[in-house]
Structure 1
C-alpha cells in the first residue's frame, strides 16, 4: 500500500473550490484521498491533479 502525504483526520482546503469550505481527510492511499467537505460532502480526489492545502480548523 502506497503512503500518502495526507492522514485521516487532517484538515484541508481545495484551492480551486473555496465554496466547498473546510474539509477533513477520511482516508488516504497514495494519490487517492477522500475528503469530507463542509458544503460539498464526501469527495474522492487525486492529489496528483489537485493540490490540497493543509490547514487548521476554523
Structure 2
C-alpha cells in the first residue's frame, strides 16, 4: 500500500518521484501525516500527497 511505503520516510532521507524523474534526487524535509515536503534538485521544494504518490527511497 502507498501509506506503508511512505511510512518509512524521515527528514533527511533521499527519494525520487516515480512519475516525474526529471525532478531528480530529492531530500525529505518533513513528513506530517500524508503530507511529505521534499526538496528536489531540479524542482525545488514540493509538497507531495503521500496518500496518492509513493516516493521511491534511495539508499545509495
What TM-score do you get using the length of structure 1 for normalisation? 0.86
- Number of the residue aligned with 1:42: 45
Residue segments in structure 2 that go unaligned for 5+ positions in a row: 1-5
How far apart, in 2, do the equivalents of 1:37 and 1:56 lie? 16
Take 2:16 and 2:10, find their aligned partners in 1: how far apart are those partners?
14
Cα RMSD for the two superposed structures: 1.2
Matched residue, 1:27? 30
Runs of 4 or more above 4 Å deviation? none
List alignment gaps of at least 5 residues for structure 1.
Answer: none
Q: Paired residue for 1:53?
A: 56
